Chain A
Amino acid sequence: EAQVTQNPRYLITVTGKKLTVTCSQNMNHEYMSWYRQDPGLGLRQIYYSMNVEVTDKGDVPEGYKVSRKEKRNFPLILESPSPNQTSLYFCASRNLGTIVADTQYFGPGTRLTVL
């Protein structure tokens, strides 16, 4: 079954304690990205990756890091989480497409609370 998986699904942590949210896809997609979703603000892209070892900033990258060492995995790292990073996070993947962006598949989401 084609899917994007994220772990953990729920996380409550404290300010400053480093954490990693994992993301994995089994569709051999080149493109992967992270979004955060906040009420009234829609989906905002944090980082994206067009292939292994190629990452770039999205619209709201501050306070986040990513890496893409393997095609299937794209972890999101919060080195020193702060309360304003409390949010719902989605990982997504898709084929890069030769001309236009292809259908995007989303993971189930990670609800993060930073106290």
Chain B
Amino acid sequence: AQKVTQAQTEISVVEKEDVTLDCVYETRDTTYYLFWYKQPPSGELVFLIRRNSFDEQNEISGRYSWNFQKSTSSFNFTITASQVVDSAVYFCALSEASGAQKLVFGQGTRLTINP
């Protein structure tokens, strides 16, 4: 069965600090997708990134970067120079690459950026 673990329940940092959110996953599939979603206080789920299991290149998008390491089954998310607007709950998710492709979510990490 697929499983996603986000061991950090809550993180609180001061604005402009860098912060890394950890995500560890379990799957028997050789091909799968990994995702990060952001849930701001307003409640909607905002897609941030999707990663194919065959693509282990790290990705950077502005202040956001993702580190995918298949060897350790991890897909960590780093926010550089954090801002108050980054405060949200962040979810890591895993999907099989065939069939229903339902998302299996981690428990989420609540990130608070203090001014």
* A complexed with B: no
Which residues of B are in contact with A by a Cβ distance under 8 Å? none
